[in-house]
Amino acid sequence: MKSLSLVVMMSAFCVVGCAAQTGVAGLSASQGNEIIANLRDIKQLLSEQQKIPEKAVDLDRTVVVKAQDFADISLGVPNAPVTVFEFTDYQCPFCKKFHDETFPALKAQYIDTGKVRYVIRDLPLNFHDEAMPAALATRCAAAQGKFWPVFSGLFMAPSISKDLSRTVALQAGVNLAIFDICLANPATMKMIEADIAEAEQLGVNGTPGFIIAERNEAGFSGTQVSGAQPIGAFTTKIDALLAEQAKRP
């Protein structure tokens, strides 16, 4: 990974140098700046990935997610044949990448059509200082029926800052007094800690992490998708699960 990061930095140098010498070739200043910004984003993603401990995970191992009331933190019909759980970190650039590039297609193809119920779970990583405050803010927004506006607002922002969660919550129309009481309530933190503990038990050790599951007597049984994958990684597992269900009597 370190060597790959070095390649990225050398590539950035090459782009800057070549652009300066070949300005007449048609590369404008704005295009050059955009390329440099993209390379910086890649460097940040690589840096974030180096912080996450690598653990061997069998993504095809069947795991069971405990059943509970997900009404405030879910999208889609409650009785959808497939449930997708996302364990997320609001400061994770891979999570933002997923929501920028993959989630819109997933929502259009499966959530909006009644095939998938989509549930958000919290997995704030301990090296992201603003991840836990953002998770607390979304939970307290959920208590006022404002989870999804705050969730979307956080991922639409270029980056997470200390005051962003509160600003987004206010823009979503939360009652500030009730919101602050919720933030100070130890029970809110315990809900997030329960998500973190369940993620560890399921073998989800990075973000974004997903369980694609179906409901059964034990809760929700399914398998993992790990990372900011393209839509094909999800359609393969969701379609296979839907086809398997269609064969049952």
Please, which residues have CB within 8 angstroms of residue 101's CB and are 6 or more apart in sequence? 228, 230
pTM over cut 0.85? no
Helix (H, G, I), strand (E, B) or coil at 32: helix
- Residue 20: what pLDDT? 27
Quote the pLDDT of residue 9.
37
Residue 38 predicted with pLDDT over 80: no
Query: Rounded to an integer, what is the distance from CA 140 to the centroid of its chain?
Result: 18
Give the pLDDT band of residue 218 (cuts 50, 70, 90).
confident
Residue type at 198 in one-letter notation? E
User: What per-residue confidence (pLDDT) applies to 61?
Assistant: 83
Domain boundaries, the chain: 2-51, 63-247
Query: Over 80: is that where the pLDDT of 215 sits?
Result: yes
Fold topology of 63-247: Glutaredoxin (3.40.30)
- Does residue 16 have a pLDDT over 50? no
What is the mean pLDDT of the segment spanning 131-138? 97
pLDDT at 62: 86
Q: Is the pLDDT of residue 15 over 50?
A: no
Note the pLDDT of residue 209: 97
pLDDT at 36 over 60: no
pLDDT, one tens digit per residue, over 144-191 is: 999 999 999 999 999 898 889 999 999 999 999 999 999 999 999 999
Strand runs (DSSP E) across the chain, as ranges? 63-65, 74-75, 82-88, 116-122, 209-216, 219-226
99: which DSSP letter? Answer: H
Q: How many CB atoms within 10 Å of residue 110?
A: 24
Average pLDDT of the segment spanning 60-85: 93
Report for 51-60, 113-122, 155-164, 217-226: range of highest mean pLDDT: 113-122
What is the per-residue pLDDT across 53-64, written as a single tens digit (0 to 9) for each? Answer: 445 556 678 899
Measured distance CA(47)–CA(8) in Å, rounded: 11
Strands (E), 131-180: none
